[in-house]
Amino acid sequence: MANHGLHCINCSFNFFDSIENGAKIHGMSDEDVTSLINELNTINEKNFDYPFYITLKALDELKASKTLEEYVEIYADDELHLNIRLSNEKKKNQVEVDYKNVKIIFDKEIEKLVKNIVVDYVTDFNFEGFTIGKLF
């Protein structure tokens, strides 16, 4: 969606709008909205090999930033907000997923939280960095 100028993960209105309404608010035509929905459905169908989805932009940023570290770790803070950090080691209680040649690890205890998330990399005038939200 970020490729279409929509950064819904960071938007406070994403809980209230549908994808169609949000796209139209941002000036997308009916044809563009239909194209976006079709693209999202195709992505959704293709990515059930993984418990989560990483956008191409986020994947490129992860590969670029992962120089010395072997793993990208998804972890939960004390309030169960998910975050990303680079790591050199995988612990015994961690699940490893090879996501398009990037080794993603996370604790088994947060496996349900990690399921159906989307990891994106956003650059706009307010924020630059990784975001994690729910895919559906």
Share of the chain above pLDDT 70, in %: 79
Residues 6+ apart with CB under 8 A from 94: 73, 105, 106, 107, 108
Q: Are 53 and 121 in contact (CB under 8 A)?
A: no
Beta bridge partners of 120: 131
Please, which pLDDT band fits residue 123 given cuts at 50, 70 and 90?
Answer: confident
Higher pLDDT pick, 37 / 49: 37
Give the residue ranges of DSSP H helices in 8-106.
19-25, 30-46, 56-65
Share of the chain above pLDDT 90, in %: 24
Q: Is the pLDDT of residue 15 over 70?
A: no
Please, which pLDDT band fits residue 24 given cuts at 50, 70 and 90?
Answer: confident
Q: How many CA atoms lie within 13 A of 37 on its CB side?
A: 14
Q: Does the reported pTM lie above 0.75? A: no
